[in-house]
Structure 1
């Protein structure tokens, strides 16, 4: 099977997953207004981002469930299932009743659908990266996986720009009433497109090999944890480092821009969406560079860039209202993740053998993302409220986790660019 078809189908499905997941962040001001009581805006904002975090908390569950299926049944079947689960959960999110209609039931249903999204995404990304790597030849594997890695900023941009387009087409009152639902509802079209593409795929050669040899792991989770605990712990740490950068720059940035420089939610979404889309060439370039200089160098460069720039950029953005300048600032924030994420999935998947790769990669990736990244907007925002400083949380949470991850990467993370996949 053509590696281009493999990459395109994997990328299309993963793009849809990230679009649907980021739609929540882009629409957070409208979710806050429609699903929580209006009397306490600070509490409503924190609750909105805690619901956002629930999708991350359950991602390790998705990693275990879908990782087990991926390592026992096969990669293709499993990540078709993750796509369908995410698509249906997101579509029904656009149909939910509001707090004014059903009271406390509204945020409960929102949380349940968010949990389903998180379980889906817990199995999706590991499956897509594993699928591409096991099809790709030799030293080009990180380059092809880089296209899959580039789907988060593209999904972020697509969800934000969908919001902006709908907002421009509808009167403000109509958008506040029902227009905010449209990005969720149109996701069903994207889900169908992704399903059509993925149904054309075949199983990976490496998985077929171990299946024919009857070498499939009996219980992939147990085998991964018992045989590769050090790699899993390193994977958790480096995934955490990336995730605090990503969800500071693409999660916390929304309440920051709407409450500090006081941009409208639509303008904030536009700035973040454009900044995200403009990252795409850098993801591919960095993935290609990792074939030359190594995964660890590229990943560490992203963390170092963030530590050198995040605090000063957030400080500068507090007084900026010009949309072009805001977009530039957010672009620089997200750029650090174009280094870390372009190689993160590849580096983690390369640590493990075929028989446990889906499970072990997904588990370490989603524990790091779920435990640290998902709570980033809530923690950074809570610290900022507590200290009455909108960027205090960046310094006292994002910097601490990212600094620890950089130390782990430099001292404990193996270099895998020349390691053959077995």
Structure 2
């Protein structure tokens, strides 16, 4: 059972056939640098969520302030679908390269607003408003980034290496997580709590801004995707990519949505929410929670790269199905273990197991989703499914997890959210065909 795009009468472009060339690091750098900036900022935001809560959302109830901060984090995801539709449509009409230059510029504006925003004590209610503006700009840019960058990356890959190329999009995320966690550890070790509250939390965001000039330079120097160039010359769009995505490719868009549900819930719950969960619900120190996250990011990188290589050898579905099944089996016992024994070694073990399993899914994800769509709508269609799933299930994952614990009084209630995501991913995979050895269209 399954479905795939219509390939009737389609030619096989020369650049999609098997080749012997190695991995083009320039392509990987261009496609992943914006995504890396996005996830670096998201990582440090989550690690300093409690500090930001005090600076921008003062409240007599610490839980209410933290919930307001997580909601602000999630609100930025509301603009992701809009950015995905507008910038994805632009990428499918005018090219991936042009869209990628826009996304990194807008993202820089969002990061700058967050970095420089005065606190509530300085300007009152305007402070949380500025924080919201920064997150909205970040969300809009990130929404357009994922479709354009992923299409650009996979379309440059030889047919037998699309999984490996696509995996670098997720590896870049993991490296950004690792760098963000490393910077967070360094700041907590070098500065006092008062210094962190006063200015220390802004340092990581300022570091992120340094990536922008590099990103603009490398993205302006590389050629357009060969698959997109061929498609633009061979076909002329009869309707906008957005409308065609909804009318002709809605099944594939729903498939991308379903696959993203597991990936995004797993990422935000198993990695981003864990430091807050470990410190507030389990009583683990902040430094220990960050160290565990460093180890988890390394495990995620290993799993993701392995998955990309495996998917090129045996197909995309096998590692992705294995990942979902493993999560369904081990997630609850692992959460129960760390709840019963909340020590640093156990937290490292639990988080590494969860992220290693998730990496097996994510490493094959980018190539798998790109292979669902033709080039003329690829960036838009991918962005629609991805961004709506991330908006609904990822952006508010921290707030949902906090509410689940508050409503039930059960520290283990958050794991059911992760099990739901794994189940959705597994069911979606059962209805899809594997196109890993077929040419991109």
Q: Deviations over 1:140-171 (max 9, x none)?
A: 11111111221122111111111111222223
Structure 1 unmatched ranges of 5 or more: none
Q: Deviations over 1:197-234 (max 9, x none)?
A: 22221111122123333524641000111111111111
**Residues 39 and 281 of structure 1: CA distance in aligned 2, closer, same or farther (over 3 Å):** same
* Alignment of 1:415 onto 2:410: no
Aligned mate of 1:12, from 21, 33, 43: 33
Runs of 4+ aligned residues of structure 1 deviating over 6 Å after TM superposition are none
* Alignment of 1:405 onto 2:425: yes
The aligned runs of 1:5-404 (5 Å cut-off) are 5-213=26-234, 215-216=236-237, 218-395=239-416, 397-404=417-424
What is the alpha-carbon distance in structure 2 between the residues aligned to residue 70 and residue 318 of structure 1?
A: 46
SS at 1:334's partner residue?
A: helix
What is the alpha-carbon distance in structure 2 between the residues aligned to residue 375 and residue 271 of structure 1?
A: 22
The answer (yes or no) to whether the contact 1:217–1:355 under 8 Å persists in 2 is: no
The answer (yes or no) to whether the contact 2:266–2:421 under 8 Å persists in 1 is: no
Q: Deviations over 1:271-300 (max 9, x none)?
A: 213321342122111111011222122212
Aligned length in residues: 420
State the TM-score, normalized to the length of structure 1: 0.94
What is the alpha-carbon distance in structure 2 between the residues aligned to residue 45 and residue 315 of structure 1?
A: 24
SS at 1:53's partner residue?
A: helix
Deviation at 1:12, TM superposition (A): 2.9
What is the alpha-carbon distance in structure 2 between the residues aligned to residue 177 and residue 263 of structure 1?
A: 24
| Farther off after superposition, 361-370 or 398-407 | 398-407
Q: Say what the alpha-carbon RMSD is for the aligned residues.
A: 1.8
What is the alpha-carbon distance in structure 1 between the residues aligned to residue 346 and residue 246 of structure 2?
A: 47
Q: Deviations over 1:44-68 (max 9, x none)?
A: 1211111111122221111101101
State the TM-score, normalized to the length of structure 2: 0.91
The answer (yes or no) to whether the contact 1:245–1:306 under 8 Å persists in 2 is: no
What is the alpha-carbon distance in structure 1 between the residues aligned to residue 35 and residue 425 of structure 2?
A: 25
| Farther off after superposition, 165-174 or 384-393 | 165-174
| Farther off after superposition, 143-152 or 346-355 | 143-152
| Farther off after superposition, 27-36 or 350-359 | 27-36
The answer (yes or no) to whether the contact 1:252–1:381 under 8 Å persists in 2 is: no
What is the alpha-carbon distance in structure 2 between the residues aligned to residue 301 and residue 55 of structure 1?
A: 32
SS at 1:38's partner residue?
A: coil
Deviation at 1:370, TM superposition (A): 1.6
Q: Deviations over 1:113-160 (max 9, x none)?
A: 111111111111222211121111122111111112211221111111
What is the alpha-carbon distance in structure 2 between the residues aligned to residue 242 and residue 217 of structure 1?
A: 33
Q: Deviations over 1:63-103 (max 9, x none)?
A: 10110110011101111211121122113211111122222
What is the alpha-carbon distance in structure 1 between the residues aligned to residue 45 and residue 295 of structure 2?
A: 17
What is the alpha-carbon distance in structure 1 between the residues aligned to residue 234 and residue 125 of structure 2?
A: 54
What is the alpha-carbon distance in structure 2 between the residues aligned to residue 364 and residue 414 of structure 1?
A: 17
SS at 1:186's partner residue?
A: helix
**Alignment correspondent of 2:7:** none
Deviation at 1:326, TM superposition (A): 2.0
SS at 1:355's partner residue?
A: coil
Deviation at 1:401, TM superposition (A): 3.3
What is the alpha-carbon distance in structure 2 between the residues aligned to residue 33 and residue 115 of structure 1?
A: 21
What is the alpha-carbon distance in structure 2 between the residues aligned to residue 35 and residue 217 of structure 1?
A: 48
The answer (yes or no) to whether the contact 1:25–1:251 under 8 Å persists in 2 is: yes
